[in-house]
Each structure stands twice: as structure tokens, then as C-alpha cells.
Amino acid sequence: MKKIYSTLVLLLSLFSFASCDDDRDSNPTLAEPTEFILNTPKYVSGIYDLKNTESIQLTCTQPDYGFTAAATYSVQIAVESNFSNYTTLGTTYNTAAMEVNAKEVAVALVGLLEVEEAENYPKDIFPVFVRLESKLSNGTGKITSNIIELPKVKGYFALDDMVMPENMYVIGNVAGNWDWTKSIALTPVNSTEGKFWGIVYLGETTGGDKAEIKFNWEKSWDIGENFGMKNSIIDDASKELAGISGEDNIKIGNSGWYLVVVKVEIEGRSYKYNVQFLAPNIYLIGGTVGGWDILDSNLFTVPTTVDGEFVSPAFTVADELRMCVKLEGQEWWHTEFIIANGEIDYRGTGGDQDRVKVAAGKKAYLKFSDGTGYIQ
């Protein structure tokens, strides 16, 4: 009996030690790495012709974090060996073998060399210095590698691709009181890149001043591109309807609700902005009104105050609620929206929305000042 008891104690002790080892393995301790090696490329003696090269191959040894960690690597480049001035490329990597986009390097070099015109770009080859930065997903364990030299780089005057904005915001003395955090977001038009719309109240301020607005595709004065009267195209019909004037801000002479439409186009290296101010016409469409044509008989009433409600005609049929605004050259569903959970829910660039059924005889009520809606 004593022998059996001793055996049980021994087995329990071994199990206890094994459990402690498992705990240590499952709760690794982060070590601060002291070395991070970026390898010199095999063909470093050749010329890196960035215009005719797809990528630059880089490899490294992972820093020792004390355990197998998922590190994120960033590439930093400079034109001076002491890295007194450098730039970090936007693309990051999660493996120790990297295919660094040659154009991304070329664009970064334009900035480092402070070249503003193509004719001023260096004609001869020149050295470029590269290092890596490694860090863990939570931002800890940051370490930079050694610096390697690519002695023969042939760059060119490369610029970032022009990208169509995905967002558009309205700001003004009646649209956020010039505070970007309170600006009004316009809704993207489905299936049409760079086009946005919104129902916006452009009335007088509490002090009696006329509305003044500007636009940007970022909520910022310093990022993106602010535009108003100076650098946008506003058609004559919009100017007449809204009583538009001004030199910089767009001043609205005729207070009220408007359907505001912004269309962005890219011309060369510049953006062109077309702005329209239209009547704030909202329509019921689909089963609740017995058809898919946009008809004046299905128009909502328009309020006269900022807190007023747009009210639909009564639904003639119990069916799925669908509403839209009408834009030239667009299908009705490109500007579709519904009421869901007490809020105005815009389709935007998304797919078909979850359907909301309504009863015949009821009406839709929309309050664009706070984005709410209800059926009654």
C-alpha cells in the first residue's frame, strides 16, 4: 500500500512540473531584441533601374523576441548613409522575404531629393541606403536593422497615382460651424466613382447670416483638398436656384433645403469638382406605390426649417419600403435609401439592403437634420 501511495505522489509531482512548463510555454515573455539583420541583396552590384524594374528583393533575419512572433516590417530609405533624412514606405510586410515595389521607392526618392520638375531629376545613377524597422502587432518590440547600400540606382520622376476620393464632406457656418468633427457627410452614388449626394439644410445662422460652405474629401483643413467657389464648377441653374455668390466660400442667398451633388473628375495631376444645388426632391418608388418609375405623385413634402420632417404620400400597397432621389444619368437604386431601426439607412456603394416592410395607408417621415426616420 505504501509503495502504491509513493507512486501516486511521484506521478502527481511529474504532472505538476509538466503543467508549469506548459504555462511557461503558453505565456512567453517578450524579450527586447538587440540585433536585426537586413541582408545585402545577391545582385547588389547591378543597376536598379526603377522605371524598368517591378520590385527590389529584400530579406532579413527575424529579431529575437524570445518566442516565435508575427512581426511587421517597414522599409526605410535615404540618399545619405547617415540616415539624417529618410522616408518610410507605406507598404508593410509580415515575412522576412520582401518584394518592395520599385515605383513606391521611386516616388519616395522624388520627395527625398526634393525634385519638383521632371527635368530636374538626376540623370546619373546614385546610391540609395536602405534599412528595415520591425515591430510587433501591438507596437512593442520596435527595432531598426543595419543599413545596406544599393550603390547603383537609376530613378525617375515618379508621382503617386491619382486616386478618386471615397468620401465627401460639407462644412460651413451652418454645417458644423466650421468644425470638421461636426461636418456633414455626403453619400456615395452607387456604381459611379467619385460622385456624392446629400440632402442639406442651407439656411441662415442664428445671427441672421447667410449660409456659407466648402467641401473636402477629408475632415481636415490640412489633408485632402478644400474647395469652394475658387476651384469648383457650379452650373448656372444651381447658382440661380440657390442664389449663389462669393469668392472663396460658397454663399447661399436663398435659404432652405437642397439636394447637393458633388462630382469629382481627374484631369492630369489635378482634381476637378462639379457642384450642383438641386431641389430636395425625394421619391417613394417600388411596390409601395405600385411601380418603378420616378413620379411627381410620389414626392415627399419639404419642410421649411432645419428640424422639419420630409413626409411621403401614403403607401398604396403593403410592401417593401424604397426611397430615392433623382440624379441625371443615374438609376434610381444608385441613390436608394430606407428607414431601418429608426435611422435613415443609405445604400451608398453597398449591395441590396435588408428589406423593411410597411403597411398600406402609412407614411414615411424623414428628419435629415439628425438622420432619423419613422413610419406612421
Q: Spell 178-216 as b/e; 16+ CB within 10 A means b.
A: beeeebbebbbbbebebbbbbbbbbeeeeeeebbbbbbb
Class of domain 48-154: mainly beta
Residue 12 CA to chain centroid, in angstroms?
A: 57
Asked if residues 213 and 250 have their Cβ atoms less than 8 Å apart, the reply is yes
In the chain, what are the domain boundaries?
A: 48-154, 169-278, 283-375
CA distances from 299 to 312, 357, 361 (A): 6, 19, 16
CATH architecture, domain defined by 169-278: Sandwich (2.60)
- Please tell me the predicted confidence (pLDDT) of residue 108: 94
Q: Which residue is associated with the grid cell 432621389?
A: 325
- Please tell me the predicted confidence (pLDDT) of residue 67: 77
- Please tell me the predicted confidence (pLDDT) of residue 68: 76
Domain 48-154 identical in fold to domain 283-375: yes
- Please tell me the predicted confidence (pLDDT) of residue 132: 97
Q: Spell 262-292 as b/e; 16+ CB within 10 A means b.
A: bbbeeeeeebebbbbbbebbbbbbbbbbeee
Q: What is the pTM of this model?
A: 0.70
pLDDT < 70 stretches in the chain: 1-28
Class of domain 283-375: mainly beta
Query: By C-alpha distance, which of 128, 126, 123, 118 is closest to 157?
Result: 118
